[in-house]
Structure 1
Amino acid sequence: MDFFAAQDRARRNTGRLVLLLVVAVVSLVAMATLAVALVMVISEGGQQQAGGEPLARALDPYLLGSVALGVLALVVLGSLFKHLQLRAGGRAVAEAMGGRLLNGNVRDADEQRMLNVVEEMAIASGTPVPAVYLLEEPAINAFAAGHSPQDAVVGITRGAIERLDRDELQGVVAHEFSHIFNGDMRLNLRLVALLHGLLLIGLVGHMVLRGTAGRRMLGGGNRNNNGQAAMLALGAALMVVGYVGTLCGNIIKAAVSRQREFLADASAVQFTRDPNGIGGALKKIGDHQQGSQLEASNAAEFSHLYFSRGIRAASGMLATHPPLDERIRRVDPQWDGELPSSAERRDSGEETAAGPASSGESRGRDARQLMAMALATIGQLDQAHLDDARRRLDALDPRLLEAAHDPGAARAVAYGVLIHLEPGTRAAQRELLEGVADPGVLRELDALEEPLAALPADQRLVLLELAIPLLKQLSTAQYATFKLCLERLIAAEAAPGALHWALYRVLVQGVEGRHSRRRDRALTALTEPAAVLLSSMARAGSDDDDEARRAFAAGVAELAPLALDYVPGPTAFAELDMSLDRLQRLNGEGRRQLLAALAGCVEHDGRVSVREAELFRALAEALDCPLPPLLDTH
């Protein structure tokens, strides 16, 4: 799977889908306008009124325009209202479904196992660690939701974590991560908002119908019979138009969703190299009494987000998911049609031992091979990186691992990583936090001094990624203080480099999310900010300016015939921020080219240092390009 092509394809498909829905909305507005206009004319007395035939007066441009604007405003306001409800991203969906946050709030072994699987998958793929929500539902189901990887969440049901073994959970989570990689999440949330606007027409019609019927029952007699009949007709017309529109929207939604589910299933097998994982989960759904049916009152609203069908929906064109047996046979062509016994208990839940880290396989590769492999793994998953992620988590000091999962100590972890980038400035930076940072957080920071000092350089980004879901839970006041402290720590560095800024940027962007931007620019239109980032990457590999210039030239060679000018350093953090903000407008091919040039800077001297590898990964993450940890750095 080509990550950049998949992302661009998702954006094109989103545009086409939105255009198709706009055509449907225009058609529905026209139908509703004509119905409302006719009812208004009839309610005024029909032919007896001066002004001609009802149909002729109903087609009056002024009347049609006024009604069309009203109906269109109803659809737009309904969609906008739902969009604003969902602007928090995946968290809004999970909370609407009654989910409970697991990060920092694990209560039993099943929940811990699920959190471990998600964290391993995120670290192995280079994506931000998503928040994990548990739905207290007996069904076996899951979903991924959000506007971007920064605000993505993974939801899982109680039935899934209790009945699926570790390999099956990994297959389900890999399926959901495929939706994150392929850009499906934003499309799904836009569908929810648009369909809500269409549904609102029918809901208004239903309200008019009920209100008019109620007045007729209370009023008695024949008074205002014509007007009441007209209102009944209006309510019925709006209901029909609204529900026909919703039906059309649901057909479009279902058609798109079914194809994305097949792709996500195939990606899960590709990522884990184990068809028995996702295949076993699908078979258990088929054998489970509750299946994948969710009981939440608003489950239908998010039906296209789920791992498997979450509602008792009609089949055929309205089915949001392909038939279960067809999905199983696609991942397991040898399946004989038998399902596991419902009485069969899942595995004990013990963590399977990670195989030998694949870094042994990659030892001896030169820098060019290593960076070529890194670029090839963007938006990908494989067992080697999953094993490496588990090894990295197991190697973390338990005190740091516990702190990264604690709502209070997570801030201390972030401060500690930045403070320990340069040993010579630790004491001065620690003093800067006095009187600003929360005293309890400072006590946690002091308690973590020993494990932070011993933290391997290639574990810093991993530790920060684990802490980000907890940092997202900070109140507005807490986050303002936290960000102020981060800025003070960065400003106190004696010789701040691009890695300091990149780690700070990963933290801030991970907590705040990324502002939505159109990705329509080619690299040729953004050469100045690209030169700033390439120059900073070149200096990360050497303190010698001549060597940095040679590294920069090697990177620019990857962009031939495009020419860029070296930007002497050091570069102010504000300029780096501005450059990265502009580069987030790059299209898929532009981001591919930029990362190839950054890789050229790194590999030019035949080695890849930990500092270069971590900066490269941090920049890729800031550009929304999920890059797994490099398996061999030195």
Structure 2
Amino acid sequence: MDFFTAQDRARRQTGRLVLLLLLAVAGLIVAASVVVALAVVLFDGQFGGPDPLARALAPELFGWVTLGVVTLVVGGALMRHVQLRAGGSAVAEALGGRPLNLDTRNADERQLLNVVEEMAIASGMPVPSVYLLEDAAINAFAAGHDSHDAAIGVTRGAIEHMDRDQLQGIIAHEFSHILHGDMRLNLRLVALLHGILVIGLIGRMLLRGAAMTGRGRSSRRGGGGHVAVMAGGAALMLVGYAGTLCGNLIKSAVSRQREFLADASAVQYTRNPEGIGGALQTLAAYRLGSRLMASQASEFSHLYFGSGVRHLSRLTATHPPLEARIRRVLPRWDGSLPEPFAPTPKAAPAQDASPSSRRDAMLGGVGGGGMNGAPGESMGGALAGAALAGAVVASVGQPDPAALAAARRRLDGIDPRLIDAAHEPFAARALVYSILMGVDPASRDAQRHVLTHQALPEVLRELDALEEPLSGLTPGDRLPLIELALPQLRQLSAAQFARFRQCLAGLMAAETVPGALQWALHRLVLVGIEGERRARRDRHLRDLAGPLSLLLSTLARSGQASPDEQRESLEQAGKALGVELDLVRDPSKATELDWAMGRLVRLVQSERAALLTAMVCCVEQDGRIEPEEAELLRAVAWTLGCPLPLRDE
């Protein structure tokens, strides 16, 4: 399944989810109406009148019950949605996770960070925040509204009991959920189902409160009211249990097939079925299994790599049986499992002496072929323009072993001091400033003057320290370094981010010869931290001729030398889009390009493949995309929500 089809599928799943929710709410209304009708009949003395059955079946009573149930469901869903606005970090913290120290010296934690970073850079997407759950169970999850607020959580049991291949299989499984749009759907499901569950929560609170305040009051005046409160609480809990059953059925209906798809994608990404298969076998043999101890574990059960909670039956299980999942990825599996083992971690490897040895921990192979390209080789090779564009579009959201190998080589080729800087609070800001500063000496002097007056002294010291290793950067290194720095930059406080943003604006304003790549990387940094502010209304290509002309003219100037070649590239792009485009001859300002991108991100998902094809037509020269052009293409595609896997450039 290609990236664009998967995204459309996730959107359709949202519609299916809403339909299932409406059916569940209708069932709750019926259940609540029955409970209220029984209460009217049983407590007839409280209501008066000769015909309790007629009152129990009165349309007015049904209307009030319907209004009450809908109000509770909608209110509960909105409340949970607000609580989860922060995205994946909110889920991870609700489960007791802590952000993993990016400068950790623990070998298991370092290996986890390396695997996540490697997969993110290979996929062409920002590095998600990584959380560690201090739980002995083996489990993991990916959560978030979008790639900018995504978080991957992994339990202590998983990093201690999985080898690198198995851990890579689990992380590839979670990246599949991110790339296929499952992550966003899962979070919406949490918010919507909370509205159903809130009825039972209110009933539990009433029952518990009445039991605590009613001790010793059985003979006192007002005991009847106390009994009524307890009865009401019990009734709400009864309806709530029906809601819980509906919620579990909805989770099961939505999530089970996606787990099979994520397992298959993990094999596709790594070409190593033994990785994800071995992880599932280890989980099946582990005595503690995947069950999490967090109090809110059941609410997020459909997010996990393993089931995470116990289910009363397979009908309500959010995950397929482990045996079925193993056979899907290892068809020749004979059914044997490792000997059951207790939660005793594997022998701890020696702790790293310093953060600079981070890349030394990246051992272990990536299976499959297609890794023969050498660093410095341009993207595309001998492919013709149309074939190259088709290959690039087909690769969106589809990392493979070649991309993983390219990411590893790219990271290994970068000065370790720069890798370390991306994981440190002050150095990460200095690193980004340095990357975004222009190459023209006059620009750099003016930009350094800006930073001297606006940046913190600690950042300026790091800026000076990074000058020498940054001089060795090669085309293609800048984007991976920014991706590595994004998790650290997302941890900035509001005041720190305001200063950081002010410095970025100052750098852009002081640039005397602004380039397309600098603009694209600048925008990528901000979108990677804040996210993209998208209008709700989707747009079609036919409505976006102006923004398309502006962006594609900028790409054509970067990829083609002469005005005639630029015009020809734009004509090819227009044919791919079915839109008449005008060549913008003069270089566009950053504000103009931001305006164009702000409208292009509204493009409907089904037409983004055509836009990406047009972008490739503009930057390629004779079937080749040079390293700087590839970096520009990946940066722009990333901000459009089309992650391009890394290739040797």
TM-score range, shorter chain: over 0.9
Structure 1 pair 342–407 and aligned structure 2 pair: CA distance change class (3 A): farther
Report the 3-state secondary structure (helix = DSSP H, G, I; strand = E; otherwise coil) of the residue aligned with 2:425: coil
Any conservation in 1 of the 2:534–2:601 contact (CA below 8 Å)? Answer: no
Report the 3-state secondary structure (helix = DSSP H, G, I; strand = E; otherwise coil) of the residue aligned with 1:8: helix
Q: Distance in 2 between matches of 1:175 and 1:126?
A: 16
Residue 256 of structure 2 is matched in structure 1 by: 258
Shift in Å, 1:275: 0.6
Shift in Å, 1:231: 4.1
Shift in Å, 1:62: 4.9
Residue 363 (structure 2) aligned to one of 344, 351, 356: 351
Residue 243 (structure 2) aligned to one of 242, 245, 248: 245
Q: Distance in 2 between matches of 1:565 and 1:37?
A: 69
Shift in Å, 1:40: 6.4
Stretch deviating more after TM superposition (61-70 or 327-336): 61-70
Structure 1 pair 213–493 and aligned structure 2 pair: CA distance change class (3 A): closer
Residue 436 of structure 1 is matched in structure 2 by: 454
Stretch deviating more after TM superposition (87-96 or 294-303): 294-303
Q: Distance in 2 between matches of 1:19 and 1:421?
A: 55
Structure 1 pair 258–423 and aligned structure 2 pair: CA distance change class (3 A): farther
Structure 1 pair 58–512 and aligned structure 2 pair: CA distance change class (3 A): same
Any conservation in 2 of the 1:358–1:385 contact (CA below 8 Å)? Answer: no
Q: Distance in 1 between matches of 2:208 and 2:450?
A: 65
Are residue 569 (structure 1) and residue 586 (structure 2) matched? Answer: yes
Q: Distance in 2 between matches of 1:175 and 1:517?
A: 31
Stretch deviating more after TM superposition (235-244 or 514-523): 514-523
Q: Distance in 2 between matches of 1:89 and 1:352?
A: 32
Residue 417 of structure 1 is matched in structure 2 by: 435
Structure 1 pair 595–347 and aligned structure 2 pair: CA distance change class (3 A): farther
Q: Distance in 1 between matches of 2:212 and 2:41?
A: 23
Shift in Å, 1:538: 1.1
Any conservation in 1 of the 2:144–2:187 contact (CA below 8 Å)? Answer: yes
Residue 189 of structure 1 is matched in structure 2 by: 187
Residue 18 of structure 2 is matched in structure 1 by: 18
Stretch deviating more after TM superposition (81-90 or 259-268): 81-90
Residue identity opposite 1:305 in structure 2 = L
Shift in Å, 1:515: 3.7
Q: Distance in 1 between matches of 2:266 and 2:629?
A: 30
Normalised by the length of structure 2, the TM-score is 0.91
Are residue 4 (structure 1) and residue 16 (structure 2) matched? Answer: no
Q: Distance in 1 between matches of 2:537 and 2:124?
A: 21
Shift in Å, 1:42: 6.9
Any conservation in 1 of the 2:143–2:152 contact (CA below 8 Å)? Answer: yes
Residue identity opposite 1:199 in structure 2 = L
Q: Distance in 1 between matches of 2:586 and 2:44?
A: 77
Report the 3-state secondary structure (helix = DSSP H, G, I; strand = E; otherwise coil) of the residue aligned with 1:235: helix
Residue 413 of structure 2 is matched in structure 1 by: 395
Structure 1 pair 365–103 and aligned structure 2 pair: CA distance change class (3 A): farther
Q: Which string of whole-angstrom CA distances, capped at 9 and with x for unpartnered residues, describes residues 398-427 of structure 1?
A: 111110011221000110001145455211
Shift in Å, 1:225: 6.9
Residue 136 of structure 1 is matched in structure 2 by: 134
Shift in Å, 1:70: 3.1
Are residue 318 (structure 1) and residue 316 (structure 2) matched? Answer: yes
Shift in Å, 1:223: 5.7
Structure 1 pair 608–214 and aligned structure 2 pair: CA distance change class (3 A): closer
Task: List aligned pairs for 1:446-595, cutoff 5 A.
Answer: 446-515=464-533, 518=536, 520-542=538-560, 544-560=562-578, 562-595=579-612
Residue identity opposite 1:359 in structure 2 = G
Residue identity opposite 1:292 in structure 2 = S
Shift in Å, 1:441: 0.3
Shift in Å, 1:580: 1.4
Stretch deviating more after TM superposition (610-619 or 599-608): 599-608
Aligned residues: CA RMSD: 2.6
Structure 1 pair 429–35 and aligned structure 2 pair: CA distance change class (3 A): same
Any conservation in 2 of the 1:522–1:589 contact (CA below 8 Å)? Answer: no
Stretch deviating more after TM superposition (420-429 or 79-88): 420-429
Any conservation in 2 of the 1:126–1:629 contact (CA below 8 Å)? Answer: yes
Shift in Å, 1:114: 1.0
Q: Distance in 2 between matches of 1:372 and 1:300?
A: 43
Structure 1 pair 206–585 and aligned structure 2 pair: CA distance change class (3 A): same
Residue 399 (structure 2) aligned to one of 354, 375, 381: 381
Residue 326 (structure 2) aligned to one of 328, 335, 349: 328
Q: Distance in 1 between matches of 2:380 and 2:575?
A: 27
Shift in Å, 1:220: 3.1
Residue identity opposite 1:282 in structure 2 = L
Any conservation in 2 of the 1:433–1:485 contact (CA below 8 Å)? Answer: yes
Structure 1 pair 598–543 and aligned structure 2 pair: CA distance change class (3 A): same
Would you say how many aligned residue pairs link Structure 1 and Structure 2?
Answer: 629
Q: Distance in 2 between matches of 1:397 and 1:510?
A: 23
Shift in Å, 1:589: 1.9
Shift in Å, 1:266: 0.6
Residue 298 (structure 2) aligned to one of 297, 300, 303: 300
Shift in Å, 1:296: 1.9
Shift in Å, 1:495: 2.1
Structure 1 pair 96–231 and aligned structure 2 pair: CA distance change class (3 A): closer
Stretch deviating more after TM superposition (580-589 or 168-177): 580-589
Report the 3-state secondary structure (helix = DSSP H, G, I; strand = E; otherwise coil) of the residue aligned with 1:15: helix
Structure 1 pair 129–244 and aligned structure 2 pair: CA distance change class (3 A): same
Q: Distance in 1 between matches of 2:45 and 2:272?
A: 71
Stretch deviating more after TM superposition (26-35 or 499-508): 26-35
Q: Distance in 2 between matches of 1:422 and 1:359?
A: 32
Q: Which string of whole-angstrom CA distances, capped at 9 and with x for unpartnered residues, describes residues 4-63 of structure 1?
A: 0000001101111122102311331354256447646875746743xx633433455555
Report the 3-state secondary structure (helix = DSSP H, G, I; strand = E; otherwise coil) of the residue aligned with 1:434: helix
Shift in Å, 1:174: 0.6
Residue identity opposite 2:606 in structure 1 = E
Aligned-pair identity (%): 56
Q: Distance in 1 between matches of 2:230 and 2:452?
A: 69
Stretch deviating more after TM superposition (467-476 or 457-466): 457-466
Any conservation in 2 of the 1:148–1:514 contact (CA below 8 Å)? Answer: no
Residue 107 of structure 2 is matched in structure 1 by: 109
Structure 1 pair 47–431 and aligned structure 2 pair: CA distance change class (3 A): closer
